Structure 1
Amino acid sequence: MSSSSSAKISSAMVFKNAAFCFPDVVLNVLKASEAKATAASISSDVASL
């Protein structure tokens, strides 16, 4: 009984940590894609000049 409850607790901790880290991961991905899009638009602007 104690082993199953400890497994539940550890999975809950992992879930909490994942939920806590998830927004940072999403923000980093969005920032990276935004930087890529900005670089692409800048390079296309330079190419059009």
Structure 2
Amino acid sequence: MVSLDYDIFKKRLFELTGINLTLYKEDQMKRRLNSLRLKHGIDSFADYYQKLAE
């Protein structure tokens, strides 16, 4: 589930910002984004995207 959630997050983030996360090592990027997400008390990448989009 986390992988699918992350894949959708990558696609939507690219559409929103033009930032292509596929250019980075996936495991490393997931760790960094998970750390930021959890630090802010956000449960999923879908919720994280919503916060970023706001």
TM-score range, shorter chain: 0.3 to 0.5
Work out which of the two has the higher radius of gyration on C-alpha atoms and give 1 or 2. 1
**TM-score with structure 2 length normalisation?**
0.31
More helix by share: 1
